[in-house]
Amino acid sequence: MSVLKNQDPELYKYIEQETERENKNFELIASENFVSRATISAMGTVLTNKYAEGYPGKRYYGGCEHVDKIEDLTRDRAKKLFDADWVNVQPHSGASANAAVYLAFMNPGDTLLGLDLSHGGHLTHGSPVNFSGITYQAEFYGVEKDTGRIDLDKVRDKAKEVQPRMISIGASAYPRDFDYSAFRDIADEVGAFLWMDMAHTAGLIAAGVLNDPLPYTDVITTTTHKTLRGPRGGMILLGKDGKNKLGVKARKSGRVKNMSEVLDSAVFPGSQGGPLMHVIAAKAVAFGEALRPEFRTYQKQLQVNAKHMADEFKNRGYNLVSDGTDNHLILVDLRNKNLTGKIAEESLDKAGITVNKNMVPFDTESPFVTSGIRLGTPALTTRGFKEDQFTEVVRLIDTVLQNPNDESTLKSVKEQVQDICAEFPLYDFVEA
């Protein structure tokens, strides 16, 4: 019998129920994915016992000789994966990584220019309800109403107007790729740092499926889950030039040699204490998996699936923000279907299809209701879904959205979802 099941049957029951939900549902939340058994196994090791404040070779605790090797291995794999010169794998999350970037590059009250959250941006890129919008002066660029795309001429005009200390790129609900060279030109023109938060697209970038921001940006942050298909966590990266570009704060203080040291200090002790060594080990597993040739094959299929899904929705009369996708997600504007995102999310959930309601640009509903839904292909592609299966996914979603309150329709769709999922088994265990 499982140790956990024997010792804590109540908790085990809830984990078992979640395992069953993941096995039997269509998981279409763009920020979610399914990790390997090896990744799960690494997180459930004795490494959770070890305090390791500091960095390999420079710890504040004894007994770190083995976790030093683990962190070095993780960093080496990440650098190889992204062709980076320096990484920090200690951030507990994407938000933690971003907090360290702010601490390293900006002072309270400095101006940040980023993509508006309501136009697909990140919460930690200046939203007024987030620490980033509370601590810093946040200004925003957005997408065009008629195209759903960023107009770089307007970004340049905004940057000249507000003179930001830093410009951020990256999004949580923007279906298109970014022109990093153009953003670099804008940043240079106004004397701003350029930061890319590639949390959503890190796997696609690592596989060479999307444009690479590393040669153009001063700093990059990411989560290690989502398309990268690792454990929940964060990371900071610098390119081969970025490591030696001294920040103004570093030059004036004389206390550090280069930007990598500024960022290391901003993570620990600046914004975190001890690293989560069991999660860092799981990152090493995921990065090792991502270095294999089949990971690129997976990312290409993930992108193909997203484009196919977009076409299927358009064929059924749905409006998509930017009229399609370059990456792993699509954003569906439901206003022409007389539906809200909230109704769509709730009805689809009853039918075994997991999505999230999402604001669309120039939304007329509140963030708690929304006019759209966001759909992503990473998790179902991990299960083995290809174009034929995504044709069925869209057909079943459309069936539900045409009859969102019909219980018999929801029941029928749920049965079909479970039948398809049974053909693509996921986890045959609760504990790795």
What is the amino acid identity at position 41? Answer: S
CB-based contacts of 252: which residues, under 8 Å, 6+ apart? none
Distance CA 393, CA 388 (A): 9
368 is in an annotated binding site: yes
121 is in an annotated binding site: yes
Closest CA to 219 of 124, 97, 132: 97
Whether omega for the bond prior to residue 215 falls within 30 degrees of 0, making it cis, is no
Distance CA 368, CA 308 (A): 29
Distance CA 119, CA 328 (A): 17
Q: What is the model's pLDDT at position 240?
A: 72
Task: Write down the domain spans for the chain.
Answer: 3-28+293-423, 42-290
Distance CA 231, CA 67 (A): 17
Tell me which residues are annotated as active site. Answer: 51, 53, 197, 223, 226, 232
Distance CA 47, CA 284 (A): 13
Q: What is the model's pLDDT at position 11?
A: 96
Exposure of 166 by Cβ count < 10 A (0-12 exposed, 13-18 middle, 19+ buried)? buried
CATH of domain 3-28+293-423: 3.90.1150.10
Distance CA 2, CA 430 (A): 9
Q: What is the model's pLDDT at position 241?
A: 61
Q: What is the model's pLDDT at position 2?
A: 84
Measured CA to CA in angstroms, residue 15 lies from 20, 29, 33, 165, 350 at distances of: 9, 20, 17, 45, 20
**Torsions phi, psi of 136, nearest 5?**
-120, 160
What is the amino acid identity at position 77? Answer: R
Give pLDDT tens digits along the chain (432 positions). 489 999 999 999 999 999 999 999 999 999 999 999 999 999 999 999 999 999 999 999 999 999 999 999 999 999 999 999 999 999 999 999 999 999 999 999 999 999 999 999 999 999 999 999 999 999 999 999 999 999 999 999 999 999 999 999 999 999 999 999 999 999 999 999 999 999 999 999 999 999 999 999 999 999 999 999 999 999 999 987 654 454 444 334 444 458 899 999 999 999 999 999 999 999 999 999 999 999 999 999 999 999 999 999 999 999 999 999 999 999 999 999 999 999 999 999 999 999 999 999 999 999 999 999 999 999 999 999 999 999 999 999 999 999 999 999 999 999 999 999 999 999 999 887
Q: What is the model's pLDDT at position 418?
A: 98
Contact 70, 225 (CB under 8 A): no
367 is in an annotated binding site: yes
Domain 42-290 has CATH 3.40.630.30: no
Question: Is the C-alpha dihedral spanning 404, 410, 414, 415 positive or negative?
Answer: negative
Q: What is the model's pLDDT at position 252?
A: 40
105 is in an annotated binding site: no
Alpha helices in 83-179 (DSSP H): 94-105, 131-135, 152-162
Domains 3-28+293-423 and 42-290 share a fold: no
313 is in an annotated binding site: no
For residue 236, give the DSSP letter. E
What is the amino acid identity at position 292? Answer: R
Q: What angle do CA 287, 25, 347 make, to 5 degrees?
A: 125
Closest CA to 135 of 94, 174, 165, 91: 165
